[in-house]
A and B are shown apart, each in its own frame.
Chain A
Amino acid sequence: MKSKLVIGLGITAALSLAGTANAGATLDGVKSKGYVQCGVSTGLPGFSSADEKGDFTGLDVDMCRAVAAAIFGDASKVKYSPLTAKERFTALQSGEVDMLSRNTTWTYTRDTSLGLNFTGASYYDGQGFLVTKNLGVKSALELDGASFCIQAGTTTELNLADYFRANKMAYTPITFDTSDQTVKAFEAGRCDALTSDQSQLYALRIKLEDPTSAVVLPEVISKEPLGPVVRQGDDEWFNIVKWSLFAMINAEELGVSSANVDEMKEKSTDPNVRRLLGIEGVKGEWMGLPDNWGYSIVKHVGNYGEAFERNVGEGSALGISRGLNALWSKGGIQYAPPIR
Chain B
Amino acid sequence: MAPQNMPQTSASKVPLWRQPAVRALLFQILLVLGILAVGYYLLSNTLTNMERRGITTGFGFLSNEAGFGILKSLIEYDETDTYGRTFLVGLLNTLLVAGLGVFFATFIGFFVGISRLSKNWLVARLATVYIETFRNIPLLLQIMFWYFAVLRPLPRPRESISVGDTVFLNNRGLFLPQPVPEDGFWLVGAAFAVAVIATIVIARWAHRRQDATGQQFPTGSVGLAMIVGLPLLAYWISGSPMHWEYPVLGGFNFRGGMEVIPELAALVLALSIYTGAFIAEAVRSGILSVTHGQTEAAYALGLRPRTTLKLVIIPQAMRVIIPQLTSQYLNLTKNSSLATAIGYPDLVNVFAGTTLNQTGQAVEVIAMTMGVYLSISLLISMFMNWYNKRKMLVER
Contact = CB atoms under 8 A, between A and B. Distances in A.
B341 A181 contact: yes
A174 B71 contact: yes
A158 B357 CA distance: 11
A11 B68 contact: no
Contact of A110 (B39, B52, B251, B360): B360
Interface string B21-63: 0000000000000000001011101100110111110000000
A205 interface: no
A177 B253 CA distance: 24
Contacts of B341: 176-177, 181
A313 interface: no
Given A15-B49, A161-B67, A175 B349 contact: yes
A7 B52 contact: no
A16 B42 contact: yes
B303 to A, nearest CB: 47
A9 B42 contact: yes
A173 B171 contact: no
Contacts of A149: 343
Contact of B371 (A7, A20, A93): A7
Interface string A147-170: 101001110011011101100000
Interface string B332-366: 00000000111101000100011011111011001
A176 B144 CA distance: 12
Nearest to B355: A153
Contact of A161 (B46, B79, B154): B79
Contact of A158 (B45, B49, B67, B371): B67
Given A115-B50, A115-B55, A190-B171, A86 B356 contact: yes
Given A145-B250, A147-B252, A175-B71, A232 B54 contact: yes
B340 A153 contact: no
Interface in B260-296: 262-263
B145 interface: no
Contacts of B137: none
B55 A145 contact: no
Given A144-B251, A176-B343, A93 B55 contact: yes
B152 interface: yes
Contacts of A5: 39
Nearest to A110: B360
Interface in A98-125: 109-110, 112-115
A12 interface: yes
A177 B39 contact: no
A189 B171 contact: yes
A254 interface: no
Interface string A1-34: 0011111110111011111110000000000000
Nearest to A187: B152
Contacts of B319: none
A192 B252 contact: yes
A185 interface: yes
A12 B253 CA distance: 45
B71 A115 contact: no
B1 to A, nearest CB: 26
B53 A173 contact: no
A157 B357 CA distance: 11
B148 interface: yes
10 contacts: A4-B367, A7-B367, A8-B367, A20-B52, A89-B360, A114-B360, A147-B253, A172-B253, A188-B148, A233-B52
Interface of A: 3-9, 11-13, 15-21, 85-86, 89-90, 93, 109-110, 112-115, 143-147, 149, 152-154, 157-158, 160-162, 164-165, 171-177, 181, 184-185, 188-190, 192, 231-233
